[in-house]
């Protein structure tokens, strides 16, 4: 694959006059109108006697199926997932949106939940898609945490990955540095929101599994150190971050991958990206915008992010 031949020219991102600040972009996007779509909720079993909830929109054609992965404490009902599913439908693509364990309509059965490097559930989803949609190509789009795990999955499977084409939007590259950044300045507002539901879920889980530690911290790092790491087989938060940060996996990616990221992203700073690796890889194209916040990209005219994703998937 020749990178120069593969480069795609995309429409320039232009924010509207009222949404030019990083936090305005990040926060206002959460209040976006959500497109009504007619998808089916499907529950599938996992190899470890748990379940995953999927939202499936099947157009029953021969075009690729797009797997979608949300961010930290999101779900398949978040605006960026639902609106992309709607635009993919208009473009002729079927889609399957995964709810990470505990992020769907109910808590999962097992003690463990989900984390930034959980790729076994991705493999379970891809296997299900291959069975349900035989002979159809699989593409994938991951947002934030979902993008981190998608890149990790691509790097792990290399040329044997079932996904033929992928997009990562606002992914974290270094989980340790990103976690530290979360505990600074205005980012604490986002952290507080994440912590509320993370701690609530851990408290609910403890009713069934009393040995889950009581959370005594105040930050995402504390939660990952006290809850996420021990629940998922890591020594501590630092071990979890070291093993699961996407930055180390880009050099192993062997599928066409588009990374969309804003230079002003305060939650997953672009400065932590492995820029030399991204530049050298013949499989990766980067689209770094001057503004856009974290999974924001409120644009004028509207819909820049989804138009860009669909152009890449159609390439």
pLDDT in tens, 214-254: 999 999 999 999 999 999 999 999 999 999 999 999 999 99
- Cα gap 255→290, rounded to integer Å: 26
Q: Where are the beta strands (DSSP E) in the chain?
A: 40-45, 51-57, 65-69, 94-99, 138-143, 163-169, 257-262, 284-289
Q: Which pLDDT value is given to residue 7?
A: 83
Q: What is the mean pLDDT of residues 5-26?
A: 90
Q: Given the structure tokens 């992914």, which residue do they identify?
A: 171
Give residue 17's pLDDT.
94
pLDDT in tens, 151-192: 999 999 999 999 999 999 999 999 999 999 999 999 999 999
pLDDT tens digits along 97-122: 999 999 999 999 999 999 999 999 99
Over residues 29-65, the pLDDT tens digits come to 988 888 899 999 999 999 999 999 999 999 999 999 9
Tokens coding 143:
């947002």
CA-derived radius of gyration, the chain: 18
Average pLDDT value for the chain: 96
Q: Which residues are catalytically annotated?
A: 144, 265, 294
CA 45 → CA 52, 124, 128, 139, 150, distances in Å? Answer: 6, 9, 10, 22, 20
Measured in residues, the chain has a length of 315
What is the rounded end-to-end Cα distance, in angstroms, of the chain? 14
pLDDT bin (cut points 50, 70, 90) of residue 3 is: low
Nearest to 21 by CA among 288, 266, 306: 266
Domain architecture of the chain: domains with CATH? 3-174+253-314 (3.40.50.1820), 175-244 (no CATH)
Distances (CA, A) of 300 to 12, 84, 303: 10, 17, 8
Please state the pTM of the whole predicted model. 0.96
Task: Say whether pLDDT at 1 is over 70.
Answer: no
Rounded to an integer, what distance in angstroms lies between the CA atom of residue 244 and that of residue 101? 17
């Amino acid at each position: 694959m020749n990178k120069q031949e593969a480069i795609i020219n995309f429409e320039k991102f232009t924010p509207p006059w009222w949404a030019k600040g990083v936090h305005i972009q990040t926060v206002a996007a959460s209040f976006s109108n959500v497109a009504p779509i007619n998808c089916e909720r499907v529950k599938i079993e996992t190899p470890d006697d748990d379940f995953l909830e999927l939202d499936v929109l099947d157009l029953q054609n021969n075009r690729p199926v797009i797997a979608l992965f949300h961010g930290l404490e999101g779900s398949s009902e978040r605006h960026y997932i639902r609106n992309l599913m709607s635009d993919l439908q208009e473009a002729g693509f079927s889609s399957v949106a995964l709810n990470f364990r505990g992020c769907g309509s109910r808590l999962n059965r097992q003690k463990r939940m989900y984390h930034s490097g959980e790729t076994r559930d991705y493999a379970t989803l891809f296997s299900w898609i291959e069975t349900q949609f035989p002979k159809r190509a699989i593409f994938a789009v991951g947002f934030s945490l979902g993008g981190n795990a998608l890149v990790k999955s691509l790097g792990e499977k290399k040329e044997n990955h079932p996904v033929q084409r992928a997009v990562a939007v606002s992914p974290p590259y270094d989980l340790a540095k990103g976690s530290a950044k979360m505990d600074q300045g205005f980012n604490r507002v986002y952290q507080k929101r994440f912590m509320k539901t993370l701690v609530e879920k851990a408290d609910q889980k403890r009713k069934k599994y009393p040995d889950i530690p009581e959370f005594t911290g105040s930050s995402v790092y504390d939660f990952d150190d006290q809850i996420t790491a021990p629940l998922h087989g890591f020594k501590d938060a630092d071990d979890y971050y070291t093993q699961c940060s996407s930055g180390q996996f880009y050099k192993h990616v062997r599928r066409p991958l588009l990374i969309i990221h804003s230079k002003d992203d305060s939650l997953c700073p672009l400065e932590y990206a492995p820029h030399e690796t991204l530049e050298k890889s013949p499989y990766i194209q980067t689209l770094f915008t001057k503004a856009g916040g974290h999974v924001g990209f409120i644009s004028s005219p509207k819909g820049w992010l989804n138009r860009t994703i669909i152009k890449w998937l159609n390439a």
